[in-house]
Chain A
């Protein structure tokens, strides 16, 4: 049987999710042996650029017309399109541009030439195309990535926890940074999967994995407010990594 065809692509971002793939040092050569990699610009100078793909992994957000065209081409080639990383899933830090006048920011950074640049307001992938699977994280977690690929190669869609980082944090019996130390920790509203890495190191969660699905925002906002954080600051913090996922 022919090996499944795979493309790995980066739109605008930091390439951190592709780096996580390359960081699977122990599994990398075995994983690659299972598939037929057709496109992986960051790691190969031989890329197809066309033809059908069983799996397309796309990292980064859409910030240019070129990104948008590339994404649409990838979508038309791919049976299954997988958004990898918070930029692809939620827009990421570049999407802090929501509500800003990009034209004037461009002018400020690049001068009058800024007006000529291929540049558009940041969009997450699902705002432009159908996304079949989303693996969030800034960057994605190695174990979630490897198990997702292993499952997809067997035709199984990965399932991720809907509960927040807070649940994982309690399972690790960490001291609560929000309630006990009054730190603005986003653990209660952020998607689990990182094993509460930051609170485990006594560092407040910054929400880099995007919102948890079962968040009970109203009551959580109340508990943040109880701890003395005003609504504006909480909203700004939650919008840093996942601006497209926060309506508060």
Chain B
């Protein structure tokens, strides 16, 4: 038995690894190992008050900290029957856009691009291709500007609270944001060209089940309540409250990891899944960009998640602009958070973090203290699907030697944009 071990996995968030056991050219076992320490935050927040919860659970992950904060608030508000204003909803959607822009730009340029061009890091790449790296940094900064203006901080936002915002950004602040977003439109176009110019990567194609929030009226990362699963022309719909149907954790024989499956099938979440589930987003400039990227849906190739992120960068920048226009047109109001009365209740929320579906689900006692908290992260959901694609990647190049196998496995892992701090639910070692 020959074993390929990639550990630690570099250029991803958190500590992980990949283990492949082979007999000759046959793949016996494939494992996505999570080596992150278990912080046990879910049991440790028991007894905390409802208004202390979001700042603690935000710390599950920095790159998804806006998504964790807002999903936590949405679940809390659902449990306590707090209805937030349309302005709050719009500002929260805008925050999701900011995090998606920051996260996709970081992932595409600093984490994924070096593989395609044969460099160990973006800083090494910067010596030869400074324009590509500064393009990524400019877009990343654009995303962070939205987070700082609306969320109060780029990492672990502080301004979003139960019922609304501590201090709503002023019209002047939004006008400044608009000006820099207008400049970012051209950068997002350039990013499409850059990703379109990369060498093709298609070495683990297999039919894939995709899951994402369904957003029939607008492309929403925050406001939806229904998950759609799509594969091979078939689809299934699951309401948020039944999230256990697709995140039911199953023990699997080849690994200690508990895996998310839907009716026994692994599924993929993230940018590629969002576009596959919501094809009506793909009109106008986005459809044109998709042609330039040579992306056809459903893709079946997880490497296409990089192309999908480039497309989302473009649509996130223009959606953020539209939202700011709307906020300015409606007249931004200095609203205070909707007051809340603690009482017993349960609430579930589901949103689209940059790397896919995120669920927070809580129960509170009559004083508004946490009785139980459940968090299911995108990387935990993706783990089973990653292993399917790892296996396909190895099977398609088993005769090519360990260096090729190792390089391709790392590229597949990075294409999923895993966030391993998020995924500790499946730690085993």
Residues of A within 8 A of B (CB): 10-16, 19-20, 22-23, 25-26, 28-29, 32, 37, 40-47, 61-64, 66-67, 92-94, 96-97, 100, 102, 105-106, 108-110, 113, 116-119, 122, 138-139, 197-198, 200-203, 206, 208, 236-237, 240
Let me know if B106 and A45 touch, CB within 8 A: no
Q: List 27 A-B contacts (CB under 8 A).
A: A10-B14, A12-B37, A12-B39, A14-B59, A15-B421, A22-B106, A25-B141, A28-B137, A37-B123, A41-B8, A42-B12, A43-B110, A43-B122, A43-B123, A45-B11, A64-B35, A66-B35, A94-B41, A108-B43, A109-B40, A113-B256, A117-B38, A138-B59, A138-B156, A201-B159, A236-B48, A240-B52
| A22 → B minimal CB distance (Å) | 7
- Bound state CA distance, A6 and B427, in angstroms? 30
Let me know if B138 and A100 touch, CB within 8 A: no
Which chain A residue shows the least CB distance to B422? A14
- Given the known interface contacts A41-B8, A43-B121, A92-B59, the answer about A13 and B152 at a Cβ–Cβ threshold of 8 Å is no
- Bound state CA distance, A12 and B420, in angstroms? 10
Is B307 part of the contact surface with A, judged by Cβ < 8 Å?
Answer: no
Is B56 part of the contact surface with A, judged by Cβ < 8 Å?
Answer: yes
Let me know if B140 and A12 touch, CB within 8 A: no
Is B428 part of the contact surface with A, judged by Cβ < 8 Å?
Answer: yes
Is B61 part of the contact surface with A, judged by Cβ < 8 Å?
Answer: yes
Chain A residues with CB under 8 Å of B178's CB are: none
- Known contacts A43-B11, A203-B152; can you find 6 more A-B pairs with CB under 8 A? A23-B140, A93-B56, A94-B39, A138-B59, A201-B152, A208-B55
Chain A residues with CB under 8 Å of B153's CB are: 197
Q: Which of A15, A94, A203 contacts B158 (CB 8 A)?
A: A203
Let me know if A67 and B155 touch, CB within 8 A: no
Chain B residues with CB under 8 Å of A105's CB are: 40, 43-44
- Given the known interface contacts A29-B123, A197-B152, the answer about A19 and B39 at a Cβ–Cβ threshold of 8 Å is no
- Given the known interface contacts A203-B159, A208-B55, the answer about A109 and B43 at a Cβ–Cβ threshold of 8 Å is yes
- Given the known interface contacts A44-B120, A198-B152, the answer about A15 and B61 at a Cβ–Cβ threshold of 8 Å is yes
Which chain A residue shows the least CB distance to B126? A29
Which chain B residue shows the least CB distance to A108? B43
- Given the known interface contacts A15-B61, A20-B155, A201-B152, the answer about A110 and B38 at a Cβ–Cβ threshold of 8 Å is yes
- Bound state CA distance, A11 and B373, in angstroms? 25
Q: Which of B35, B40, B410 has the most CB of A within 10 A?
A: B40
Which chain A residue shows the least CB distance to B64? A14
Chain A residues with CB under 8 Å of B144's CB are: 23, 25
- Given the known interface contacts A42-B11, A43-B11, A44-B11, the answer about A14 and B158 at a Cβ–Cβ threshold of 8 Å is no
- Bound state CA distance, A66 and B137, in angstroms? 33
Chain B residues with CB under 8 Å of A122's CB are: 39
Let me know if A201 and B167 touch, CB within 8 A: yes
| A16 → B minimal CB distance (Å) | 3
| A28 → B minimal CB distance (Å) | 7
Which chain B residue shows the least CB distance to A47? B10
Let me know if B44 and A97 touch, CB within 8 A: yes
- Given the known interface contacts A105-B44, A237-B52, the answer about A119 and B37 at a Cβ–Cβ threshold of 8 Å is yes
Q: Which of A20, A32, A108, A202 contacts B166 (CB 8 A)?
A: A202
- Bound state CA distance, A42 and B141, in angstroms? 19
The 8 closest A-B pairs by CB, nearest first: A63-B37, A16-B62, A12-B37, A44-B121, A46-B120, A203-B166, A201-B166, A94-B39
Q: Which of A14, A109, A117 contacts B429 (CB 8 A)?
A: A117
Chain B residues with CB under 8 Å of A208's CB are: 55, 156
| A104 → B minimal CB distance (Å) | 9
- Bound state CA distance, A12 and B41, in angstroms? 13
- Bound state CA distance, A110 and B152, in angstroms? 35
Is B124 part of the contact surface with A, judged by Cβ < 8 Å?
Answer: yes
Contact bitstring B112-123, A, C-beta under 8 A = 1, else 0 = 001000001111
Which chain A residue shows the least CB distance to B47? A236
- Bound state CA distance, A139 and B153, in angstroms? 10
Chain B residues with CB under 8 Å of A12's CB are: 15, 36-37, 39
| B6 → A minimal CB distance (Å) | 10
- Bound state CA distance, A44 and B154, in angstroms? 22
Chain B residues with CB under 8 Å of A61's CB are: 37
Let me know if A14 and B62 touch, CB within 8 A: yes
| B375 → A minimal CB distance (Å) | 11
